[in-house]
Amino acid sequence: NFKGMSGGELVLSLKPDPASDGWIYETHAKPSFLARLVVSANSTERGWFDLTPEGVKPKRYLLEDGTRETKRDAELQYDWAAGRVRGSARGGPLDLPLEPRAQDAMSIRAALIADLQAGRELGTIPMVDGRELKHYVYRREGTARIPTALGELETVIYTSTRRGADSRARTW
């Protein structure tokens, strides 16, 4: 919702990867009539990853904005043996060195859940964002009980900020 108007739905799914022992996490936009002016109903974001004892290890990432233009699309391949992530993003080639725990926009969501379930502190997580590797710092702020369709649940509250961002930067 934006200012009381529905923007549509974003459908998230997590399913086993039939081509490996890994997982596929994806989103599909279902924009409302007005939201179609800025978001295509054909947009898809998908991440392939393995769940290891150390956490989530991304293998591939794909972002298609659903338009004929490719300047906002991205396709990444992770080569952990060579320590590189290669592909294209924002209209150009991408070739970056990988850091331990590096993620993309889809795998980071699964990585946070896996780390919390394993009792690991989140700390700083590098993420491929556009054509660079940015570092996001996760800080535990506390807990809260919230009402849900499942009943009242105990939750953990974390904030996320980009390392090196100025004080006006967004905090999630």
pLDDT in tens, 88-138: 998 899 999 999 999 999 999 999 999 999 999 899 999 998 889 999 999
Looking at residue 145, what is its pLDDT?
96
Q: Which two tokens stand for residue 28?
A: 């599909």
Give the CA-trace dihedral at 37, 38, 42, 46, to 10 degrees. -170
Looking at residue 170, what is its pLDDT?
75
| Upper half-sphere CA count for residue 83 (Cβ side, 13 Å) | 3
> What whole-number distance in Å separates Cα of residue 151 and Cα of residue 19?
37
Q: Measure CA 121 to chain center.
A: 18
Task: Compute the residue count for the chain.
Answer: 172
Residues in the chain where the model's pLDDT stays below 70: 1-3, 5-6, 31-42, 66
Looking at residue 99, what is its pLDDT?
94
Looking at residue 164, what is its pLDDT?
83
Q: Which residues contact 31 (CB under 8 A, 6 or more apart)?
A: 7, 8, 38, 39, 40, 41
Looking at residue 137, what is its pLDDT?
94
> What whole-number distance in Å separates Cα of residue 25 and Cα of residue 12?
7
Looking at residue 71, what is its pLDDT?
77
Q: Are 76 and 85 a contacting pair, CB within 8 Å?
A: yes
Looking at residue 152, what is its pLDDT?
96
Residue 93, φ and ψ in degrees, nearest 5: -70, 155
Q: Which residues contact 54 (CB under 8 A, 6 or more apart)?
A: none
Looking at residue 41, what is its pLDDT?
63
* Beta-carbon count within 10 A of 51 CB: 14
Q: E strand or H helix at 111, and its extent?
A: helix 107-117
Question: What is the gyration radius of the CA atoms in the chain, in angstroms?
Answer: 17
Looking at residue 91, what is its pLDDT?
85
Instruction: Quote the pTM value.
Output: 0.83
